[in-house]
Chains A and B, each alone.
Chain A
């Protein structure tokens, strides 16, 4: 290397010996072109106006910088991540609760005894016809006709020592009824069949444990509605919080953004690291939410098992399904992305 008066290296600036600038100025576009010796990932031209391809290395470096900021312990980033985690935990807890309540309703394991009360005017022939019609339904089992005398006997058994009260009755007021069990324990199917039978000629009323099932269904429905509204509000708030955090990051890094702009960075080049930050916050928040939801599940499962054993019944809660876990992860990522995009569209003018 030859010494020079400036005291620096004689290697030409830009790293290579001087090259002819002939042809660097495009006659067509009038824009100065770089020498062909400088390799590019993708050629861009003013005519095409194509966005420059962002190199894989840049993507990794952007991701690494976003992670480094977390690692450095930026308070606003961690606060936002915790808020995302807590909000998604509330969502996860609701999902867990409703999912288990739904399962309980669907797997409702009462005797599933259905009693069809017949009208007084029903003849033996009609009674047999109704019984046959019921038998044709899938899952119908142990079908039998209960005479008024049998029904009265059962009532006396139920009343026990008070059964003597019934002795004064002049005639048995109880009607003929048909009893059967339905093997399919799904609440919806039981309710549908009962409704259907209730409309038949000669049928006075149909009874099944519908009050309990319908009340549970109503509670689940209400919880689902409240949960949906609450989740929507929470997630909107979270998206705005992420947006605010990204806004603060943009302000803190405006020098970097300005320098990149003047160096010729494209829109996507500048925005990508911010988007990664938002997504990373959402992803970490979702992972935190899954951990918290799992802890919550363990706690609730232990408590309900104890409660069940006190009443002599076995209760086991099930954990979130894979699709529900994926939904929480996807929600976290979506929130991070949405927050970043809101902020970028409002506060980053390229």
Chain B
């Protein structure tokens, strides 16, 4: 599902975030991406939903080179990926419901279908009673769940999350990871960025470790085969 072929990335400032990164994640897998701050984890996520473009190599999602997508094709790729940002990126000028419904509106979903689907998704993350509240009045954990609901309401095949437990206490962190595990059981491919190695060990899912823009450790299952 996700393949990185010798990917390099340099920011306009000249900072080299990634250097010859290669890995492959199969459909339905669950991986953590770990490493210290500045290791290049977030850059990898940004390349997946093409918030950034590689300066070298190729990023393939579902066999398609992301960098070669046209401006009209790009929205279709992004709709197939659920992105959860470290700072949630919730919109505080509207309710929890509207935040989640926006993802369905963006995807051009049938308006008759939106209401039921949004409520079901909010129920699944335990926020059914918070529908009309403004996200700003919610706790960090609750906001994170709104972000998860928004990212999954269109039932994407791939969900990527940047430090989804970074701002939460250990207990809430576990509950959030549990939500991702539920998604994974439904067949969704998950890629979570975290620096919390304890949480990774506890979950039992494989992880790819990064240091200074390079992969230093990864399971065999994530290695890119020569012929792939």
Task: Flag the segment in A13-21, A86-94, A161-169, A234-242 that touches B.
Answer: A13-21
Q: How far is the CB of B20 from chain A (nearest CB, A)?
A: 24
Please state if A18 and B187 are interface contacts (CB–CB under 8 Å): yes
Binds B, one of A55-63, A209-217, A287-295: A55-63
Could you say which residues of chain B place their CB within 8 Å of the CB of A318?
none
B86 within 8 A of A: no
Known: A14-B152, A34-B155, A258-B89. A52 touches B102 (CB 8 A): no
Q: How far is the CA of A267 from the CA of B70 in the complex (A)?
A: 12
The answer to whether residues A264 and B182 also contact, given A16-B120, A46-B73, A50-B72 and a CB cut-off of 8 A, is no
Name the B residues within 8 Å of A263 (CB-CB): 78-79, 83, 102-103, 106-107, 150
How far does the alpha carbon of A51 sit from the alpha carbon of B32 in the complex, in Å? 34
Q: Is A35 among interface residues, defined by CB-CB distance under 8 A?
A: yes
A133 to B81, CA, bound (A): 89
A55 touches B27 (CB 8 A): no
Separation of A283 and B175 alpha carbons in the complex (Å) = 51
Is A5's CB under 8 angstroms from B121's CB? no
Q: How far is the CA of A33 from the CA of B63 in the complex (A)?
A: 13
With a CB–CB cut-off of 8 A, which chain A residues contact B114? Answer: 57
Enumerate 18 A-B pairs (CB-CB under 8 Å) in ascending A order: A8-B145, A13-B149, A16-B155, A25-B63, A32-B158, A34-B80, A41-B109, A55-B105, A57-B111, A57-B114, A61-B105, A255-B91, A256-B91, A259-B89, A263-B107, A266-B75, A269-B105, A350-B71
* Contact A11 to B77, CB < 8 A, known contacts A40-B109, A55-B111: no
Q: How far is the CB of A33 from chain B (nearest CB, A)?
A: 7
- Given the known A-B contacts A13-B121, A256-B91, A262-B83, are A57 and B105 also in contact in the complex, defined by CB atoms under 8 Å? yes
The reply to whether B113 and A38 form a contact with Cβ atoms under 8 Å apart is yes
Q: Is the CB of A29 within 8 A of B83?
A: no
Assess the B108–A52 pair: CB atoms within 8 A: yes
Q: How far is the CA of A61 from the CA of B91 in the complex (A)?
A: 15
Chain A at the B interface: SS class: loop
**Closest 7 pairs between A and B when the two form their complex, measured CB to CB:** A15-B120, A30-B63, A264-B79, A6-B178, A264-B78, A18-B186, A57-B111
Closest CB in chain B relative to A14 CB, distance in Å: 4
- Given A46-B73, A55-B111, A269-B106, 11 more contacts at CB 8 Å? A8-B124, A13-B183, A13-B188, A14-B153, A32-B156, A33-B80, A38-B109, A255-B91, A256-B91, A263-B78, A264-B80
Contacts A13-B148, A13-B179, A54-B108; A264 near B77 (Cβ below 8 A): yes
At the interface, yes or no: A193 with Cβ under 8 Å from chain B? no
* Chain B interface (Cβ < 8 Å from any Cβ of A): 1, 27-28, 49, 51, 60-64, 69-81, 83, 89, 91, 93, 102-103, 105-111, 113-114, 116-117, 119-121, 123-126, 128, 145, 148-150, 152-158, 174-175, 178-179, 182-183, 185-188
Give the interface residue-count category, chain A.
35 or more
Cross-chain contact of A32 among B1, B105, B125, B175 (Cβ < 8 A): B1
The residue on A at minimum CB distance from B178 is A6
Q: Judging by beta carbons under 8 Å apart, are A25 and B109 in contact?
A: no
Closest B residue to A20 using CB positions: B187
Q: Which residues of A contact B60 (CB under 8 A)?
A: 30
For B117, what are the chain A residues with a Cβ–Cβ distance below 8 Å?
14-15, 38
- A39 partner residues in chain B, CB cutoff 8 A: 109-110, 113
Complex: how many Å from CA A35 to CA B156?
A: 9
> A264 and B121 in contact (CB under 8 A), knowing A14-B186, A18-B185, A21-B27?
no
